[in-house]
């Protein structure tokens, strides 16, 4: 079923406010600053890591625009040596009244029956969605940001974009013309930077329940460290990257056929390798009860070749029957934590936003009834 598109624009004011909050956090929260990076980056690197926080409130403002309640979002800054224990949504708000999902008593205590919600934002060019295996929630909200890579330019003042700097730099280049030939690799024509975003949208990919996320994803274990030294590197699963017709019936590696397999339940994992698979669906109504049987005619670590007599869907895109090859790429993880991993394009197929809204509406109606 086609879902309504939930999307909102990222504004300069939104980015500026987010950067201000992150600077407050950077100055106050030395614990998380050190935890986030072994290099202990200065503010620039820290700013980039926390910037996705700015999308949480605008998303819910858009998602709940026709509701009589809003969310209480977590923009609290935690003290040194205090781990973040609260979920991303602390409750609902009706006017000035708060419906708490939990409370702080040395640490966050979540109330029974109230939903735990985590929000994850990924760039459009990300291929894999991940969540911390130890940070479980009832709902995972996956957002996708199609945003200029230099979006932080919007926090600079108008003085930054004054012509003086540009003119001084290009004037210096002009004086150096005698040092290089016309076929040099030196760029001399570069557009003046401006304070305008070309890409600035964030959209909802999926609201997944804990059960669906666990069913779809696979755990990739983090690095094992002893006294700060890595003694076992993190697991790096292979993830699906592309599919194309195998018109020439060519195998780029030694042919290792696996025989007849059901693509609906194709597991390629072994003790050393894990695969993040796309979601296959049978397009032909008469054969759906038998799964989606294909002949795996060849395989390697990064390529699977198969022949299929049915039309099918892969991550909701339609393909006709024929011969295909699918490619996998190694996910270069450096994480020191265990993570649930799945293809980002697959989460769309498991959207349960209606279930989350039903939970919110039920909490709201009970509050209204009790008051």
Beta-strand relationship, 280-282 and 293-299:
unpaired
- Whole-angstrom distance, CA of residue 137 vs CA of residue 120: 12
With beta carbons less than 8 A apart as the criterion, state whether 364 and 280 touch. no
Q: Which one, of 74, 146, 91, 127, lies nearest residue 344 by Cα?
A: 127
Beta-strand relationship, 139-147 and 117-123:
parallel
- Whole-angstrom distance, CA of residue 264 vs CA of residue 46: 41
Residue 13: exposure state from Cβ atoms within 10 A (0-12, 13-18, ≥19)? exposed
The H or E element spanning position 359 is helix 353-370
Q: pTM for this one?
A: 0.90
Phi, psi of 56 (to 5 degrees): -65, -55
Beta-strand relationship, 117-123 and 128-132:
unpaired
Q: Which one, of 208, 170, 209, 206, lies nearest residue 190 by Cα?
A: 170
C-alpha triplet 30, 219, 326: angle, nearest 5°: 120
Three-state DSSP at 139 gives strand
With beta carbons less than 8 A apart as the criterion, state whether 336 and 305 touch. no
In the prediction, which pLDDT does 48 show? 87
Side-by-side strand order, sheet with 312-314: 280-282, 312-314, 317-319
In the prediction, which pLDDT does 12 show? 94
- Whole-angstrom distance, CA of residue 13 vs CA of residue 360: 29
Low-confidence stretches of the chain (pLDDT < 50) are 36-38
pLDDT tens-digit series, residues 129-164 = 999 999 899 999 999 999 999 999 999 998 999 999
pLDDT tens-digit series, residues 68-122 = 999 999 998 877 555 667 899 999 999 989 999 999 887 889 999 999 999 999 9
In the prediction, which pLDDT does 155 show? 93
Q: Which one, of 283, 326, 327, lies nearest residue 306 by Cα?
A: 326
With beta carbons less than 8 A apart as the criterion, state whether 324 and 308 touch. yes
The H or E element spanning position 59 is helix 56-63
For the chain, domain boundaries: 7-151+197-217+350-370, 238-330
With beta carbons less than 8 A apart as the criterion, state whether 115 and 359 touch. yes
The H or E element spanning position 167 is helix 163-175
Q: Any bridge partners for residue 39, and if so which?
A: none
């Amino acid at each position: 079923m086609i879902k309504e598109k939930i999307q909102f624009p990222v504004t300069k004011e939104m980015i500026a406010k987010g950067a201000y909050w992150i600077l407050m956090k950077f100055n106050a929260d030395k614990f998380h600053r050190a935890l986030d990076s072994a290099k202990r980056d200065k503010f620039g690197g820290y700013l980039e890591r926390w910037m996705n926080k700015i999308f949480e409130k605008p998303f819910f403002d858009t998602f709940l625009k026709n509701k009589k309640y809003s969310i209480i979002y977590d923009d609290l800054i935690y003290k040194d040596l205090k781990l973040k224990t609260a979920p991303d949504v602390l409750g609902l708000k009706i006017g000035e009244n708060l419906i708490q999902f939990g409370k702080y008593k040395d640490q966050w205590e979540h109330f029974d029956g109230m939903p735990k919600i985590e929000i994850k934002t990924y760039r459009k060019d990300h291929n894999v969605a991940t969540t911390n295996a130890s940070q479980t929630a009832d709902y995972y909200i996956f957002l996708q940001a199609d945003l200029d890579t230099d979006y932080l330019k919007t926090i600079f003042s108008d003085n930054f974009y004054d012509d003086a700097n540009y003119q001084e730099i290009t004037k210096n280049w002009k004086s150096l013309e005698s040092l290089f030939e016309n076929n040099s690799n030196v760029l001399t024509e570069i557009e003046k930077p401006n304070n305008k975003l070309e890409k600035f949208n964030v959209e909802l990919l999926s609201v997944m329940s804990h059960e669906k996320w666990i069913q779809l994803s696979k755990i990739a274990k983090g690095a094992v460290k002893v006294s700060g030294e890595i003694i076992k590197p993190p697991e790096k699963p292979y993830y699906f990257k592309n599919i194309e017709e195998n018109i020439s019936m060519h195998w780029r590696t030694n042919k290792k056929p696996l025989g007849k397999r059901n693509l609906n339940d194709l597991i390629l994992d072994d003790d050393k390798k894990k695969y993040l698979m796309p979601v296959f669906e049978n397009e032909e109504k008469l054969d759906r009860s038998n799964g989606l049987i294909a002949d795996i005619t060849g395989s390697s670590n990064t390529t699977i070749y198969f022949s299929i007599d049915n039309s099918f869907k892969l991550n909701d895109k339609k393909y006709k029957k024929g011969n295909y090859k699918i490619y996998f790429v190694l996910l270069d993880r450096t994480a020191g934590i265990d993570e649930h991993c799945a293809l980002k394009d697959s989460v769309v197929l498991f959207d349960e936003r209606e279930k989350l809204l039903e939970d919110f509406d039920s909490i709201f109606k009970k509050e209204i009834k009790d008051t």
